Amino acid sequence: MSRQQRNKLILALVLTLLCALMALVPFNGLEAQGKGVLIIFMWAILMWIVRPIPEYLVGVLAAAVMAIFFGMKANVVAGFSTSGWWLCLWAGFIGAVIKFSGLGERVAYWILVKLTRSELSANYATSLANTALSLMIPSNTARGAVMSPICDNICEGMGYKRGDHKGDAAIMLSNLYTNTTNTWLFYTAVGANAIGMALVEEVTGQSISWTGWLKATCIPAGIIVLIIPLLTHFLFSGKKGEKRDVDIAFAKKKLEAMGPLSVKEKKAALYFVLTLLAFCTNGIHHIAPDYIVFVTIFLMLCPGIGVCSFKDVGPNFAWPAFIQLGFAMSLATCVNKTGGFQWLVDAMFTSNPVFAAMSPSVFITIWLSFVVVSHIIFAGMNAMEAVMVPVSMTMAAALGFDVYTMGLLTVMAIAPSANFLPFNSAPNLIYASTDRFSTAQQLKGAIPIAILVILGMVFLVNVWLPVIGIL
């Protein structure tokens, strides 16, 4: 056992002991079952950060304890039946097929030759491509499936070894953070925005247009999208001597050596384009993205017309990451069903008389900051929408604040805050499965981005939204 592994184990044991001691602390208003489930979930989050054992084993252990000791047998595997998990799983297949066919490598070398000269320019090229795709693809999971293998191949083309977590962490995390933040920039960039606004409209009868959303978010979200590539470069590109420029001659030689498109590449490109078109025309046919992916994967694996077999995909598919995601979503479901999330919000806000005396702008700012930070314990945007949006509107009504504004701002705060840990969203797991960055690195970069999002929310509440007439 290495010194680093030993330190991780010691830290994990200390954190486990602290979680056990929490059982002695009264959680007034929360039943014993809810208390136990919440503590176990908090323990799982800490273990996913420290990583003393593989992440999927943490999920298995936490689920087993919830099922055996707290009667959650029906819910500890609920995450594996959600459309989000299946979309993530099948999106991972798309990435694996593109990688197997060689198409991802070809695209990566083309980007290196045409658009990049350094790791920083690779950050910007891939992140801006992701943002452009967010205008067309209404699913950040699908965009992650498209961009992740391209970024992975760019890292490979630049000579970064998998698992080193150096400059490749900058490239991959730049795209991950952008993939999340551009969901704040464009209303249709992720389904969670529409789900959240549906809850708001159901209560208030008010809604927001696509242009109205963009008008509201363009300044703070646009600035953050432009900052992210530079931020990740600063945090993760390594020491000066480790920073790498692109060997253009080498990339050209690799591209030339690949020759013309192979049959496999042509098929993969065809199915990719068809999938992209299906995503972009969702407003016409209204077929859910996960069903589109199901059909695409079936065609890709179909003998004769397909690209490869299931056996070929296996080595390029990160099964442990998707097992972790399934259990993470399941554990979050257990916490929600036993009232843990609601209890946290009530304990901090609803039952606190301090907030009743605050001005609306101050309270909203504090609440939105809490929403951003609390995303660290949620597995997926949809689950967070279901908890936070109704709670926000209930509090607004009780405190005499504008219910619609509170609901709208809560929806806006959820999407860009899903950056902290791999299990916080399905695309995070897709990026994490490449092993180009560590969980600690993801958290390290997510903290300053969360601060930027909070500052963006402060700007919205106190400056911009009053100017455009929303507040």
Q: How many CA atoms lie within 13 A of 394 on its CB side?
A: 12
Question: CB 248: neighbour CB atoms within 10 A?
Answer: 13
| Sequence-separated (6 or more) residues with CB below 8 Å from residue 469 | none
CB 211 within 8 Å of CB 123: no
The model carries a pTM of: 0.73
End-to-end CA distance of the chain: 58
> Which tokens is 434 given?
């490449």
Q: Is there a contact between 376 and 420 (Cβ–Cβ < 8 Å)?
A: yes
| CA distances from residue 214 to 68, 183, 185 in whole angstroms, order as listed | 48, 11, 6
Q: At CA 106, angle to CA 103 and CA 108, rounded to 5?
A: 110
Nearest partner of 224 among 179, 262, 189, 194, judged by Cα: 179
User: What pLDDT sits at residue 172?
Assistant: 94
Calpha distance 447→301 (Å, rounded): 40
3-state class (DSSP) for residue 118: strand
- The count of other CB atoms within 10 Å of the CB of residue 202 is 12
C-alpha torsion 160→161→164→166, nearest 10: 0
The whole-angstrom distance between residue 66's C-alpha and the CA centroid of its chain comes to 25
**82 conformational bin, left if phi > 0, alpha if psi -120 to 50, beta if neither:** beta
Token pair for 181: 């933040």
Asked if 246 and 118 count as a contact pair (C-beta separation under 8 A), the reply is: yes
Q: What is the pLDDT along the chain (471 residues), one digit of tens a residue?
A: 677 778 888 888 998 999 999 989 988 888 999 999 999 988 988 888 787 888 888 889 999 999 999 988 878 888 787 666 776 676 667 767 777 788 777 877 787 777 777 788 888 988 988 888 887 777 788 788 778 888 888 888 788 888 878 888 999 999 999 999 999 988 878 878 887 888 888 888 888 888 888 899 999 999 999 999 999 999 988 655 455 566 677 777 878 888 888 898 888 888 878 877 886 677 788 887 667 777 888 888 888 888 888 777 776 666 777 787 788 778 878 887 888 877 877 777 766 666 666 777 888 888 899 899 988 887 777 778 877 888 888 788 877 788 898 899 999 999 889 899 888 888 888 888 888 998 889 999 999 999 999 999 889 888 888 888 766
CB atoms within 10 A of CB 20: 11
DSSP letters spanning 17-44: HHHHHHTTS--TTS-HHHHHHHHHHHHH
Q: For residue 241, what pLDDT is reported?
A: 45
Main-chain phi, psi angles of 114, to 5 degrees: -90, -35
Residue (of 86, 40, 246) closest to 157 by Cα position: 246
Classified as helix, coil or strand, 49 is helix
